[in-house]
């Protein structure tokens, strides 16, 4: 429980009115980032341990991606050929959500635990997100599929060799201004 207590403690600190409203000093904001990140990373060990109990895996990887908010996931970038996405639903009833996974521009097949194909689509990450500094530029798309989760569900993502099985997006209309990318600047 040591890691969970740490996360609880940090979440307690985050109830301070300055943390809620953003009226803390910049150095304090950075310290909040540090505390919260450390606590979340450590608590992932607890989640992994729980997932090992809930599945037949004894040494499961179960990597989490804390940068999904900027459409970045190192795990899917590096091992996109065969990925299992495990979704945990803490609600007391089944729930449905659209899952977005950052991937390279390839053709994918998504299947559920019974091997049934799940409809999926590949959408480009908006270019302005791509231009964010320090963001790796090789996952320029997101794979989108609908997941229905009772408690825990696995979805399997495989790269397809042929272009047939992928339902590629049709670009129906496009009107663009000149896209002057923001050049990265060193700090």
Partner 1 sequence: TDELVVQNSQIKLTFVKSTGHLKTIEMNGVSENIEQNFAIYKGAMGNNGIAQNRSSGAYIFRPDGEVTVLSDKIGYTVYDGAQVKEVHQHVNEWISQVIRLYEGVNRVEFEWLVGPIPIDDDNGKEIVTRFKSGLVSNGVFFTDSNGREMIKRELNKREYFTPNVTESVSGNYYPVTARIALEDSQKRLALLNDRAQGGSSLADGQLELMLHRRLLRDDAFGVSEALNETQFGTGLIARGKVFLILNEAESKPTVAERLAQQEIHLPFWKFFSSSNTASVVK
Considering only residues 143 through 182, tell me which ones interact with partner 1, judged by CB under 8 A. 144-146, 149, 151-154, 156-158, 167, 169-177, 179-180, 182
Task: Give the burial string for 67-105 (b: 16+ CB within 10 Å, else e).
Answer: eeeebbbebbeeebeebebbeebeeeeeeeeebebbbbe
Minimum Å gap between C-beta 166 and partner 1 is: 11
CA distances from 122 to 90, 111, 117 (A): 28, 15, 15
The minimum distance between CB 175 and partner 1, in angstroms, equals: 6
With CB under 8 A, what is the number of residues at the site for partner 1? 86
Q: Is 15 in the site for partner 1 (CB under 8 A)?
A: no
CB nearer to partner 1: pick between 124 and 136 = 124
Q: Give me the half-sphere count of Cα atoms (radius 13 Å) on the Cβ side of residue 80.
A: 22
| Site residues (CB under 8 A) for partner 1, limited to 110-129 | 113, 119-121, 123-124, 126-129
Tokens coding 20: 């809620």
The interface mask with partner 1, positions 41-80, x = CB under 8 A, is ------xx--x-xxxxx-xxxxxxx--xxx--x-xx--x-
CA dist 50 and 165 (Å) reads 35
Judged by CB under 8 A, the residue of 98, 137, 162, 183 near partner 1 is: 98
């Amino acid at each position: 429980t040591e890691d969970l207590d740490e996360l609880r403690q940090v979440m307690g600190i985050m109830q301070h009115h300055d943390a809620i409203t953003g009226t803390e000093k910049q150095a304090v904001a950075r310290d909040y980032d540090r505390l919260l990140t450390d606590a979340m990373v450590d608590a992932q060990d607890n989640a992994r341990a729980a997932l090992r109990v809930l599945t037949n895996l004894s040494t499961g990887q179960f990597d989490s991606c804390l940068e999904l908010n900027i459409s970045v996931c190192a795990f899917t970038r590096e091992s996109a050929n065969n990925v299992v996405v495990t979704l945990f639903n803490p609600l007391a009833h089944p729930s449905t959500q659209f899952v977005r996974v950052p991937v390279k521009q390839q053709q994918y097949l998504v299947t559920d635990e019974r091997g049934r194909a799940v409809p999926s689509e590949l959408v480009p990450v908006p270019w302005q997100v791509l231009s964010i500094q320090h963001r790796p530029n090789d996952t320029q798309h997101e794979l989108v599929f609908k997941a229905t989760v009772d408690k825990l569900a696995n979805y399997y993502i495989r790269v397809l060799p042929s272009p047939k099985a992928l339902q590629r997006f049709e670009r129906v209309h496009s009107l663009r201004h000149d896209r002057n990318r923001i050049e990265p600047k060193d700090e």
